[in-house]
Every structure is written in C-alpha cells, then in structure tokens.
Chain A
C-alpha cells in the first residue's frame, strides 16, 4: 500500500531544515579555513592551505596537541576499563542494587561540567594537590564514565547469560569467562565507547580549565585565542576537529550497528 502522506512530507522538509541548521555553521567554518583572506568573510578570495601550514608551524599549538592526546589516551584507558567493570557488575547484579549502582554511576551526567570542574578544584585546593595534566585526567574520567557505562550496558542487554554459565559449569574461572566470553562480545561497544570518551576528553574545555596547572591542552589554547578575536588559523583547527570527530562518530556507529545486525 502506497499512499501520499502529507504529514510525512511536511516532517521530512522540517527535518531537512533542522539538519541544515545543525550543519551550516560547521560548513561555514570549514569553507573559511581554505580561504586566502585573513578576514573570515565573503566573497571568498581563493583556495589556500596556508592556515593549516601555519598551524603546524605553531609550537604552542603542537605542544597543546600532544598534551591533549596524552590526556585523552589516559582517559580512554581508565574510563573504558572502569566503565566495563561497572557495566558488567551492574548487569550481573541486576535488581534494585544494580539499578541503584547504575543511577550512582550516571550521576556525573546530571551535573554541569562547570560544577564538576570547580568541585574538583576546591577538592585539589583543600588537599594542596599540585595541578597538572594528572589532575585533569581525574576529572575527564568522571565526565566520560557515564557514557562508557551507557554504551556498554546497551550492548549487554543482548548478552546471553547462559554462555557464561556454561563456561562456569565447565570449570572456567571468573576471570577466564570474562576474558574469553564477555570481552569479545563487548568488542563493538568497546570500540564505540573508546572513541566517544576520546572525543569528549579531547574537546573538553571547562573541566580542563579549572583542573590544569601550567600545561595547556588544545581546546584551552583555542579558548584563550578566541578571547582575543577570530584568526584564520582558528578555522583550520576547528575544521580538523570537526572532521576527526565526525570520522570517529561514523566508525563508532557502524561498529555498534554491525554488532546489532549480527546478533
């Protein structure tokens, strides 16, 4: 049966407009990043890659980039490990204790980043902890953990406990069962969760702003540059950020989707 549905047509146009609203600003940034002129305005003055070249010649930016990669990598390692442990633990418990634990673990999501950041700052201040990239990582893990737990928990819903139980009955230890059965099953969720926490950590400004010492991360450099006005290099950094996070998102979604289709 094929009938013309006017509501569907109106909704599809609306959805198109909303997507335009979501993507147009990102396109503007990307277009200006290749623009010859130092001023970000139309008409475009011709194609150039010099803003990208200038970016890679800027030591402060390269240093910040390394710091960001370091923080994000450490955050991914810690938050995926802790997140998987939490999700598996919650899944095995089930019941009211499980859901209470889940609610507790997801709490940082319901707290604005600003408050997570300043709460950590007062905590470090009280115990006279020297601020550094290490103190940043502490906060980034708190911030990304709920996302890891949600992605892994969603995957665990489709997990057949009988496989685990069979392995136990055959004499496998809890650790072996986890390594040989649970972990491989969780692989697509792990890929998605790692990419997500990497991106969240790599892009974070607010939590970093309050918890870092002298070392700067890339978003912190962008943040301080932006307060002095718009430069064409900014368009280049922003475009690189947009494209890399976009690629990460696509890989993560495909990994989860393929897993769903297979099971």
Chain B
C-alpha cells in the first residue's frame, strides 16, 4: 500500500523551504547584486554591466587564469597520488582494510584551517623542512620560496582535498565485478592491458566525482591562499572576499563570484559527461 501523497510531501516541505530561503534566494540575490552598483555606500538597484566590464580587464583575467591553473594542478596531483591508494584499498589490501580506510577518512574530519596552519609550521622560514635542510647542510640559508607561494598553496590544497577524491574512487573500484577481470585475463589481457582497458574505464565515474570534489573547493579556496599564498600567489577567492570587506564593493564581488560559479558549472557539466557520478557515503 502506498501512503497518501500529502503526507509524503510533508516530509520534503521543511528541508525544501530551508534550502529555498538560505540557499536559493541568497544565490539569486548574489546574481541580482552583480548587475547593481554602489553609490555613496548605498546599493542602487539599476541594471548595469559595468561590473562585468571591469572583470574583463587584464588584472582579473590573470587572477582567474592562475586560479584555474592552480586548481587543475591540485586536481591532477590528487588524482595521481590518490588513485593508487584507492586502488590498493579497494582491490589489493588483505589485512587492516577497515583501519586503513579509517585513516583515509580521519583527516577529512579535521578542520581545514588547522590543516592549513600545520603547513605554515612545516614550510616557514623556521619551519621543519628548512631546519632539516639546514641541519643536513643541504642548503646554507633557509629556502624562502617554500611558504607564501603557489607551491605552498598547492601542497596544502592537495593535503586537504585528496581524501575527498580517494573515497568516491574507492567506492567505484570496489564494486567492479571480479568476473569482469577474470574474463579479461582469460582473453589474454596482461596486467597493464587489463588495467588500461577494463579497470580504468570502469572507474571513470569515480574519477569524475572525485576530481570535482577537489576542483570545486580549490577554485573557491580562500583560507588556504590567504594564509599560505602571500603576495606572490593570488587566487580569485581572496579577491572576491576583499570586495565584501570594508571596501563595500558587494556588486563587483558578486559579479566575480558569478563568473567563478559559471566556470565551475561549465567544468562540472563537462566532467560529469564522462561518467555518471555515484554519491559518496561518509
């Protein structure tokens, strides 16, 4: 017997209402603000494309490009480093599987602010790496490019978001039917061939979801570039955040955010075409 439609609807009404008020309406407001302007510290609601014209200037295009470059780098590194881990956990590990999975999940629960901070301790002029290099005599003076650079931001973002890539990938790899692999072996496929022609294509949905889980937050990163990027490394997240500070440039900041969001949407659409994503449980 099916329940009556109204009682079913009641379950969805409250969460839908919350998302509408605190997510959909704010996103629409953001979009509206991007076409408005500020006059004498007052938002004036008249339609203008000025904010978007300003973004097309060389400075902002450059920051957007370097943000994309850095996020792609972080995503590719996470994939290259994380794929073998997901593969090992899903198909090769014999003992301590639960413990190892737990160890991958644990960092996910740790504050991204704390994890960013940890890299300040490691990469700083007096940081752990410089001390080791100095003590072993490999360098005479501390390396100053370790912290406050693209390098620092990249390594910290990989550290923070890679577990988000490993888990969906693990889920997909674990579900691959062993009989498919046996068939590949029986047909004379070697290890490399089986991997490239069977396992890799079958794992693409996990790769797609995992890459998005790294790429999206990297594109919008704000805390990590702010603390580790310094003046040498600029990401669009910091530029957007500045517009919402004392500058009171809400409309311009909203336009920047909208451009960022459209870039994310385009990439998401393209990436998802290569595989239907499966949800990630925990």
Q: Which residues of A contact B (CB under 8 A)?
A: 5, 7-8, 11-12, 14-15, 18-19, 21-26, 28-29, 32, 39-42, 78, 81-83, 85-86, 88-90, 92-93, 101, 104-108, 110-116, 118-123, 125-126, 138-139, 141-142, 145, 150-151, 153-154, 165, 168-169, 174, 192, 196, 199, 203, 205-206, 209-210, 219, 222-223, 226-227, 230, 234-235, 238, 241-242, 245-246, 248-250, 252-253, 256-257
Contacts and interface: CB of A to CB of B under 8 A. Distances in A.
Given A7-B191, A122-B26, A142-B23, A42 B244 contact: no
B84 A245 contact: no
Contact of B113 (A101, A142, A199, A205): A205
- The binding surface of chain A is classed by DSSP as helix
Contacts of A223: 113, 223
B71 to A, nearest CB: 11
A253 B105 contact: yes
A119 B29 contact: yes
Contacts of A12: 88, 92-93
B121 A154 contact: no
B122 A28 contact: yes
Contact of A151 (B108, B240, B281): B281
A111 B114 CA distance: 22
Interface of B: 1, 3, 7-9, 11-12, 14-16, 18-19, 21-23, 25-27, 29-30, 32-33, 43, 81-82, 84-85, 87-89, 92-94, 98, 100, 102-115, 117-122, 124, 126-128, 131, 159, 162-163, 191, 212, 216-217, 219-223, 227, 237, 240-241, 244, 250, 253-254, 257, 260-261, 264, 268, 279-282
A196 B227 contact: no
Nearest to B30: A119
A222 to B, nearest CB: 6
A250 B253 contact: no
Nearest to B7: A174
13 contacts: A14-B84, A14-B85, A15-B84, A25-B119, A85-B15, A86-B15, A114-B237, A115-B257, A123-B29, A125-B250, A150-B279, A203-B112, A249-B108
A25 B3 contact: no
Contacts, number: 267
- The binding surface of chain B is classed by DSSP as helix
A131 B156 CA distance: 31
Contact of B88 (A11, A142, A245): A11
Contact of A206 (B103, B222, B253): B222
B127 to A, nearest CB: 8
Contacts of A104: 16, 19
A168 B12 contact: no
A29 B118 contact: yes
B57 to A, nearest CB: 21
A17 B8 CA distance: 49
A141 B22 contact: yes
Contacts of B115: 25-26
A246 B110 contact: yes
A93 B8 contact: yes
